[in-house]
A and B are shown apart, each in its own frame.
With several copies, the nearest count.
Chain A
Amino acid sequence: MPVRVGVVVFPGSNCDRDTLHALDLAGAEPVALWHESATLDGVAAVILPGGFAYGDYLRAGVIARFSPVMRAVAAFADDGGLVLGICNGFQVLAEAGLVPGALLRNRQLRFLGRDVHIAAERLDTPFTHALAAAGRPLRMPIAHGEGCYFADDSTLDALEADRQVLFRYVSAAGERAGEDDRDANPNGSLRAIAGVLNAGGNVAGLMPHPERASESILGSDAGAGIIRSLVDSAAHAAAGGRAVAVGAR
């Protein structure tokens, strides 16, 4: 029986359908979770999809944090539940303090919709274990105006030390991008960080869109491995296994 994976639907979510579709392709039973709902309907993992949760005019992700479903998600995350935030979902997780850091406006102050390459820093996590290799460039789209990852230096150092940097922007050849490398790191993220883990290793956020790169007809299926990792980990968790990343403190 396929594992149930939830996708939160805020009124302004616009990648919810894409994400449900990608989960379906990955063999999960996709479950839409309405933002007003205070429960998670017994799902084994939750994805916060891309979009503009409540319009996000003020600051991306800020209002969503106060929604009933986010209280449930926070509680779920607290006892080790798997949560993945994609794009706006990442912004919501950061605003809610479920992952470290903040997402500032892209350096050049323009919305950016284009392909980038990211590479996983580690494969021993519920979100990356099905990927072929660490450091291998994965091509997928970004589509955001506020994706510049920011945290103060001490926080960044701690993230590196604790191996909480999950994805970085890299060149097509796989070299880590610099902070001013417009081409490989277009939003100017500090230390080229494209995705992070929480301290427990069970909550992750990333700016690029793996769900839009999960079928070759769409130009890349490099994102499928991330979705599949989550689905497998959810199945494992549902079967009573603990889904926390090995090595994360």
Chain B
Amino acid sequence: MTSYRFAVNVTPKPGILDPQGRAVEGSLDHLGIEGVRSVRVGRRVELTVEAADETAARVVVERLASELLANPLIESYAIEAIGAVT
């Protein structure tokens, strides 16, 4: 068994209301920051999986992401291996 560290990035689907992203854009003026646009706010979940090999590990993460971490109606996700293999 090896440990694999992954990140699952969950972001609101295009076209879905993203009030958090709008809130960030709204506060740019106060900070005097310019030239920033199309802000989208999502979730990032990092986790470690014990598995025989990376493929097996990915299967687990895939399931977790699709069934729990993201709501397919409104969110899409991407899985990212972030090494830290032990």
Tell me if chain B binds chain A. yes
B31 contacts A by Cβ under 8 Å = yes
Q: Are B71 and A55 in contact (CB under 8 A)?
A: no
Q: How far is the CA of A58 from the CA of B22 in the complex (A)?
A: 10
**Contact A54-B23, Cβ < 8 Å, known A107-B17, A150-B16:** yes
Which listed residue, B15, B27, B43, touches A63 by the CB 8 Å rule?
A: B27
Give the nearest-CB partner of A106 in chain B: B19
Give the nearest-CB partner of A153 in chain B: B15
Which listed residue, B20, B31, B71, touches A57 by the CB 8 Å rule?
A: B20
Q: How far is the CA of A188 from the CA of B74 in the complex (A)?
A: 16
Q: How far is the CA of A58 from the CA of B23 in the complex (A)?
A: 8
* Binary interface encoding of chain B residues 8-29 relative to chain A, with 1 for a CB under 8 A from any of its CBs, else 0: 0000000111011001101100
Residues on B with beta carbons closer than 8 Å to the beta carbon of A108? 19
Q: Are B41 and A57 in contact (CB under 8 A)?
A: yes
Residues on B with beta carbons closer than 8 Å to the beta carbon of A199? none
Which listed residue, A55, A56, A66, A102, touches B73 by the CB 8 Å rule?
A: A102
A148 contacts B by Cβ under 8 Å = yes
Residues on A with beta carbons closer than 8 Å to the beta carbon of B61? none
Minimal beta-carbon separation of A34 from chain B (angstroms): 14
User: What bracket does the count of chain B residues touching chain A fall in?
Assistant: 10 to 19
User: What bracket does the count of chain A residues touching chain B fall in?
Assistant: 20 to 34
Residues on A with beta carbons closer than 8 Å to the beta carbon of B68? 58, 62-63, 66
A213 contacts B by Cβ under 8 Å = no
* Binary interface encoding of chain A residues 87-115 relative to chain B, with 1 for a CB under 8 A from any of its CBs, else 0: 00000000100000110111111000000
Q: How far is the CA of A150 from the CA of B30 in the complex (A)?
A: 27
Minimal beta-carbon separation of B69 from chain A (angstroms): 7
Q: How far is the CA of A151 from the CA of B72 in the complex (A)?
A: 12
**Contact A58-B74, Cβ < 8 Å, known A63-B27, A66-B30:** no
Give the nearest-CB partner of A70 in chain B: B30
Residues on A with beta carbons closer than 8 Å to the beta carbon of B41? 57-58
- Interface residues in chain B, defined as those with a beta carbon under 8 Å from any beta carbon in chain A: 15-17, 19-20, 23-24, 26-27, 30-31, 41, 43, 67-69, 71, 73-74
17 more A-B contacts (CB under 8 A) besides A67-B30, A106-B19, A151-B73?
A55-B23, A58-B20, A59-B71, A62-B71, A63-B26, A63-B27, A63-B30, A66-B27, A68-B30, A95-B71, A102-B73, A104-B19, A105-B19, A108-B19, A109-B20, A148-B17, A188-B17
- Across chains A and B, which 10 residue pairs bring their CB atoms closest together, nearest first? A66-B30, A57-B20, A63-B27, A55-B23, A102-B73, A57-B23, A102-B74, A66-B31, A107-B19, A109-B19
- Interface residues in chain A, defined as those with a beta carbon under 8 Å from any beta carbon in chain B: 54-59, 62-63, 66-68, 95, 101-102, 104-109, 148, 150-152, 188
